[in-house]
């Protein structure tokens, strides 16, 4: 656990930021009220600018309050069910459901006041900054759309696929090593019909040129837990399993490498009358270093060909 002093300082910074945003929020509401009064209830550009600022700061306040409040209320799962190391889909334990929706709530409501500000701008400096208002409106629309899409995907995975926990005895393995694993699956709102677990080594290569291409290939795939028929009425399903990393395999390469090599466990869940879910739980494998000289030569040839292409 982090030191108590660190937690207190973090909460202190959050409280100060919330108080500062609250002051701006109240000031923006007062500005909007003054603009409303001065025009006898006919909204003008000052009113819409103040409302956009108030809604945006209000959204930032809920972002800074919802996170700590959820941490306080949410029951975190047990740190250890059967084995000491828990793996996370895509390598991160972060849950994007509510943070993405919270981001959409912060950027979505100011869109309407910004549009009205663009339409009704009459004050000289409001007119001169019209391009900025248009840019802010487009940014609001983009962030809101991304937040709803990402949050919706994560919410679908949470409600449809339920919860899947994968644990192993170590998160770093050597080529040829045998590992013990454990999987626990709780069906979601949409019943899970079958589940399958496979060990995969996946290579993603980006070939630069015109156009840039990304190729993903499976270097290795072995079914560790064959497809099992699930009965959601029977409660959570769980199983111990073992896996052996093949010998003479390339080492894991980080997400910034090219080619990128990811080793992990693919958990495929077949859902009733709904699209299937496939979650990848990565871990680190130390094997032979990937031989990518041939790929680099091909990249250089493609780049030279693109620069000297007579058809361009």
Output the DSSP codes for 38-80. Answer: HTTT---HHHHHHHHHHHHHHHHHHHHHHHHHHHHH--PPPS-
The residue that leads in pLDDT, 14 or 169, is 169
- What's the whole-model pTM score? 0.68
Asked whether 166 and 181 are in contact (CB, 8 A), the reply is yes
Encode pLDDT of 127-180 as tens digits. Answer: 888 899 899 999 999 999 999 999 998 888 777 778 899 999 999 999 999 999
Cβ-Cβ contacts under 8 Å for 69 (sequence gap 6 or more): none
For residue 2, what pLDDT band results from cuts at 50, 70 and 90?
very low
**Selected residue with higher pLDDT from 70 and 139:** 139
pLDDT computed for residue 287 by the predictor: 82
39 to 44, 45, 154, 226: CA distances (angstroms): 7, 11, 45, 71
Q: Render pLDDT for 274-296 as a digit per residue (tens, 0 to 9).
A: 888 889 999 999 987 655 444 44
For the segment 228-247, what is each residue's pLDDT rounded down to a tens digit?
A: 999 988 889 999 999 999 99
């Amino acid at each position: 656990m982090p030191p108590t002093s660190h937690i207190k300082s973090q909460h202190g910074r959050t409280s100060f930021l919330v108080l500062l945003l609250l002051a701006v929020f109240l000031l923006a509401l007062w500005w909007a009220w003054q603009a409303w009064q001065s025009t006898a209830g006919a909204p003008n550009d000052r009113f819409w600018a103040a409302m956009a600022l108030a809604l945006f700061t209000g959204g930032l306040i809920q972002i800074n309050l919802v996170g700590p409040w959820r941490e306080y209320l949410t029951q975190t799962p047990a740190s250890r069910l059967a084995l000491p190391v828990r793996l996370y889909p895509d390598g991160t334990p972060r849950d994007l459901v509510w943070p993405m929706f919270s981001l959409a709530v912060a950027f979505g409501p100011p869109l309407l006041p910004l549009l009205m500000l663009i339409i009704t701008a009459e004050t000289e400096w409001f007119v001169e900054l019209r391009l900025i208002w248009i840019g802010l409106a487009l940014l609001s629309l983009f962030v809101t759309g991304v937040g709803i899409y990402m949050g919706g995907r994560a919410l679908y995975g949470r409600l449809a696929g339920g919860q899947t926990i994968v644990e192993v005895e170590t998160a770093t393995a050597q080529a040829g090593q045998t590992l013990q694993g454990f999987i626990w699956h709780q069906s979601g709102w949409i019943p899970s019909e079958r589940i399958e677990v496979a060990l995969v080594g996946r290579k993603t290569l980006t070939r630069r040129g015109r156009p840039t291409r990304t190729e993903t290939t499976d270097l290795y795939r072995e079914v560790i837990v064959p497809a099992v028929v699930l009965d959601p009425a029977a409660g959570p399903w769980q199983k111990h399993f073992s896996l052996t990393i093949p010998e003479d395999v390339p080492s894991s390469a980080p997400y910034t490498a090219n080619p990128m090599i990811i080793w992990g466990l693919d958990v495929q869940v077949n859902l009733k009358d709904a699209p299937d879910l496939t979650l990848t739980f990565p871990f680190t494998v130390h094997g032979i270093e990937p031989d990518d000289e041939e790929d680099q030569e091909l990249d250089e040839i493609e780049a030279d060909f693109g620069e000297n292409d007579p058809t361009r």
